[in-house]
Structure 1
Amino acid sequence: MHRFDPPRRNFLKEALATGFALAVQPISAASIITDSHDLDTGLAGIALDDGILPAYFARPRMPSGKLPVMLVVQEIFGVHEHIRDICRRLAKLGYLAIAPELYFRQGNPAEASDIATIINTIVSKVPDTQVMQDLDATLAWANLHGGDAGHAAITGFCWGGRIIWLYASHNPNLKAGIAWYGKLVGEHGTLTPSQPVDIAATLKVPVLGLYGGQDGSIPQDSVNSMRQALDQGHSHSEIVVYPGAGHAFNADYRPSYNASAAQDGWQRMLGWLASHDMKAR
């Protein structure tokens, strides 16, 4: 396992959430907790030109070779316990899963008491170009620490679901992407020059989009617009809508959790990975 000196490790512990984000308390009894048995898990410090990018990783303890890489992109709440658990679930299946804290320059969302504060003081200041570069750096780190960047995919949730579409456009060498209820349309600005619907027709990477039919923040007309844009391209991407599910239906620690949609979505994700040369070896 990669070692860090005490000052760096202390920095990583402070920069990454421990437990669940404050804004989502209390935690549902349905919350899934995956153990670390037979896994190496820990904190990574990824060196960038402007600082150290904190990340949480999980991987099989004694792999027989280089591992396929799963980039895991955080919800709006950052890399808190749910995202760490997603990494452990993927590691149990044979992946090197790594989740970088993509807001680390702007603040720690786990410490904010409500979603509005996270959006106004942190998320609204995060440029898409910065996120793309940080994900590039994360993939490069994984390639040097037991992962195979030539067999890499990406998945993300909520805020991260939108990022999956954009990073799939940014990095055409990915094998696949899986976007869980990420916004597809929105305003254009200096920090967000493109939206997923804008790049759908030119995608090369096959992306599976998983959406809730009762999601008040992602209306079905935007999902239909995305489907139409994807139909103009050749990425063979797909969108699945669960009619009875709302936003964050995979978030088992929140009231929004929809077990049937979440379980079906997880199996569809694994099937998508397997069919695009990303089955763990």
Structure 2
Amino acid sequence: MKIDTRRDFLKISLASGFALAVQPVAASTIQTDSEGLLAGEIRIGDMPGYRAQPAGTSAALPTVIVIQEIFGVHEHIQDLCRRLAKQGYLAIAPELYYRQGDPRTYTDTNELVKNLVSQVPDAQVMSDLDQVAQWAASHGGDANRLAVTGFCWGGRITWLYAAHNPKLKAGVAWYGRLIGQASANTPKQPIDVARELKAPVLGLYAGQDKGISLDSVEQMKAALKQQRQPFGMSVYESATHGFNADYRPSYHEAAARDAWESMLKWFRQFGV
């Protein structure tokens, strides 16, 4: 599915529910309510997104941009925003594929990656994330307390955005790819920008990840030591890729809980 016109952009809406490619969902799926929150779909220009924040507050809120997995801003990503809002954050998850198509309508993961995800340019994503940060600052967010976190595809983007935005205070990358072949849409990988970080980043990885080798994690750690920003790299030895995805068989409860607390501590440590 390709989206080519402004009129088509506006057709994508973030309905509740899970992407077709990940159904049926696991019994371990966590559902966070929206009690005490302002939560729901927003529009940032043409870009759809999901926003959750504490309701009834006039103070500027610390902001976390939540970057989607390959499956888009489906129910799991929306739930993560609500979890962050319960911790006092303005959490925003933009649908970063909206120009290229709707990832939630694909039933096959390989087709999703080939026909949609691989068509999304990094430069476009960086620009869209800048737009999200600007929107947040004018809609109740504190521009001086901005963080980013991302999962899988979004984990890779987290590293890139930490090298892109000098206003970012902290980032947390969940099992995002670190090395790989350059292409027109993805000219650089996280290891290529490791010395250019403008904010401290914590990387959360899995010892049993079949797609992200521990060797690549060690290579990234070596590269990070050549720059001045604080960083962290945690490896959960018994976990697999997607260990925070509670709606999938990959979910590893102990690793997910520890990593989530580590993320919150990382944000607090650097003033977000």
TM range (shorter): over 0.9
Matches within 5 A, 1:9-20: 14-20=12-18
Q: TM-score, normalised by structure 1?
A: 0.92
Q: Distance in 1 between matches of 2:58 and 2:202?
A: 29
**What residue in structure 1 maps to residue 38 of structure 2?**
40
- Code of the residue aligned with 1:145 in structure 2: it is H
Which SS does the other structure have where 1:170 is aligned? coil
Which amino acid letter does the alignment assign opposite residue 46 of structure 1?
A: I
Structure-to-structure mapping, 1:1-281, within 5 angstroms: 14-47=12-45, 52-278=46-272
- How far apart are the structure 2 equivalents of 1:136 and 1:27? 33
Structure 2 portions without partners, runs of 5+: 1-7
Question: Partner amino acid for 1:23?
Answer: A
Q: For residues 91-112 of structure 1, give each alpha carbon's deviation from its aligned partner in whole angstroms, at most 9, with x where no partner exists.
A: 0111000000000011111000
Of 14-23 and 133-142, deviating more is: 14-23
Which amino acid is 2:211 matched to? Answer: S
Which residue type is aligned with residue 240 of structure 1? S
Q: CA deviation at 1:12?
A: 6.1
- Please report how far the alpha carbon of residue 11 of structure 1 lies from its aligned counterpart in structure 2 after TM superposition: 7.3
Kindly indicate whether the alpha-carbon contact (under 8 Å) linking 1:204 and 1:234 is maintained by their aligned counterparts in 2: no
The answer to whether the 8 A contact 1:69-1:147 is kept is: yes
Tell me if structure 1 keeps the 8 A contact 2:172–2:204: yes
Q: CA offsets, 1:58-98, max 9 Å, x none? A: 01101140101100000000000000000000001110000
Contact 1:112 1:118 in 2 (8 A): yes
Q: Which range moves more in the overlay, 90-99 or 57-66?
A: 57-66
Whole-angstrom distance in 1 between the partners of 2:196 and 2:41: 35
Q: Is the 8 A contact 2:242 2:251 kept in 1?
A: yes
Q: Residue type matched to 1:74 in 2?
A: Q
Q: Which residue of 2 aligns with 1:4?
A: none
User: 1:55 is matched by which residue type in structure 2?
Assistant: G
Moved over 4 A (4+): 10-13
What amino acid sits opposite 2:230 in the alignment?
H
Give the CA RMSD over aligned residues.
1.5
For residues 200 and 248 of structure 2, the distance between their equivalents in structure 1, rounded to whole angstroms, comes to: 29
TM-score norm. by structure 2 comes to 0.95
Residue deviations 1:239-259 (CA, integer Å, cap 9, x gap): 000000010000000000000
Q: In structure 2, what is the Cα distance between the partners aligned to 1:20 and 1:152?
A: 28
* Native 8 Å contact 1:17 1:79 kept in 2: no
- CA contact 2:12–2:98 (8 Å) conserved in 1: no
Q: CA deviation at 1:204?
A: 2.5
Identical counterparts, % of pairs: 57
Structure 1 CA distance, aligned partners of 2:12 and 2:179? 34
Which runs of 5 or more structure 1 residues have no equivalent in the other structure?
A: 1-9
- Distance in 2 of aligned mates of 1:22 and 1:12: 21
Residues in 1 aligned to 2:9 and 2:79: alpha-carbon distance in whole angstroms: 21
Partners of 1:70 and 1:122 lie apart in 2 by 25
What letter matches 1:221 in structure 2?
D
Is the 2:58–2:140 contact (alpha carbons within 8 Å) kept by the matching residues of 1?
no
